[in-house]
Amino acid sequence: MRWTPLVVLCLALSVASAAPVPKHLMPKDEGFWPTAVGTKWEYEQPEFAFTEEITKADPIKSGVRLTVRVRSKGEWDATYEVGPGGVFARTDGPFVIEKQMIRLPVKVGDSWAFAYPIQKGLKCDGGTVTVSGSEEVKVPAGTFMATKVVSTVTEVGGQPIPKPTTYTDWYAKGVGLIRRDWDGGGRVLKSFTPGTK
């Protein structure tokens, strides 16, 4: 297996207790999504728990492809890609997502479009993602300085909807998603366990 400097850097950044990364290897913006196998997020949301754990991290040309085991009302795998351009959700169980979650470097006011590919069995949202700024956010896992990112859904299944809906995410550097709010619900980080190199 060939390890590129980017892969080594992403793995190093994901472990909170690791030694500082040499300045010449530091990216312009620290990653928002850990990449070490074993990294685990436990979330609270109404009626059921939601857990994610990185089970595989494969080097790819654009960074690292992560396989994440999701446990909620059942179990399935999701895939993400983490690289110098940001964090991308690629799949969620059997569904193709193809959504950029964070763009690097982070810039307040930055905005980009998204549209899930139309597929049977999935509510295929489309709209825009906008970086709103940074703020201190308190969740059961602790208090974090986090970047607020708002996804505004303006179409479903390729068709405009009369009233847009929003999903608001907060990302903390070195931890990832710590809170998600949506119309009528939400999810907060209960605990975070860094993985190992």
Tens-digit pLDDT profile for residues 135-187: 999 999 999 999 999 999 999 998 999 999 999 999 999 999 999 999 889 99
Residues in the chain: 197
**pLDDT at residue 5, rounded to an integer:** 35
**pLDDT at residue 47, rounded to an integer:** 81
Strand, coil or helix: what is 102?
strand
- Asked whether the predicted pLDDT for residue 12 surpasses 60, the reply is no
The answer as to whether 85 is a domain residue is no
The answer as to whether 74 is a domain residue is no
What residues contact residue 159 under an 8 Å CB cut-off, 6+ apart? none
CB atoms within 10 A of CB 94: 11
The answer as to whether 67 is a domain residue is no
Alpha helices in the chain (DSSP H): 5-13
The answer as to whether 124 is a domain residue is yes
DSSP one-letter code for 194: -
**pLDDT at residue 197, rounded to an integer:** 62
Q: How many domains does the chain have?
A: 1
Q: What is the pTM of this model?
A: 0.82
The answer as to whether 75 is a domain residue is no
**pLDDT at residue 123, rounded to an integer:** 85
The answer as to whether 87 is a domain residue is no
What residues contact residue 28 under an 8 Å CB cut-off, 6+ apart? 104, 105
The answer as to whether 91 is a domain residue is no
Domain that holds residue 189: 5-50+106-193
The answer as to whether 101 is a domain residue is no
